[in-house]
Chain A
Amino acid sequence: MPAEIENINPNVYGKRKEREVTANEEDENVPDPFDTREIFDLIRNINDPEHPLTLEELHVVQEDLIDVNDGKNEINIKFTPTIPHCSMATLIGLSIRVKLLRSLPPRFKVNVEITPGTHSSENAVNKQLADKERIAAALENKHLADVINQCISSKV
C-alpha cells in the first residue's frame, strides 16, 4: 500500500435511469410496499465526502446490496468503501443512516454495515454505526451535523 491512504483516482461508474412509474403505483388502491429500488433511490444521490461524485457513481452503494423486508420493518444496507483504509467510512455510513432516518417511517429498523471484507476496520465501523447513542450524540455536534447535511443535500 502507498503511504497516502486516500483514494485520489476512484473508479467512476454510470448512473441508473430514473425509476419508471407503473400503473399499479399510481393506483391509490394498490398497496405499495417499500422495495430495494425505493431505498436505493433515497441514498444513491448522497454525495461522497471527498469527491464531487455520488455514492452511486462510486459504487459505494448498490441496489443489490440492499435488503428490504417491509412486513418485518427491516432494512439492511451494505456499503462498500472505495478503498480498504478509507477514513471516511464512518462518515459515509452515518450519512446513509441519517438520510434514511429522515426519510422513512419510524417503524423501520435500519442496519447499515460495511460490505464484508472491504474495509480494514470493518468491525469497529459497524459497531459505531449500530450504536444509536453515539449517533445521537454525534448529530448534536454542530460541525459534524453540518458535514453530514452537506453529504445528504442533493445537488440541484
Chain B
Amino acid sequence: MITVIGGIEHKGFGTGAWALVAEDGTTYELLDCPRDLREVGLHVKVQGTLNDDVMTLAMIGKVLNVNSFEIL
C-alpha cells in the first residue's frame, strides 16, 4: 500500500486516460478511475497499491489501484 499526494490530470492517449501526477513528478495511471476523482486539477491524497500485472494502452506510468482517497 502506498500513499500519493498530487494532482489529477487527463492525458490525451486513445480516448483519454486519468492520471495522478505526484508532487515528485511521478505519473501514475488511474485505470478504472473512481468517478469522484475524474476532475482535472483536483489536489488529492490517494491510498492504493501498484499493479505490476497490468498493461495499458495509455502507457503513461505505473497503474495505481485506488483503495481510498481524500480530496485536499
A-B complex is real = no
B: residues with CB less than 8 A from A are none
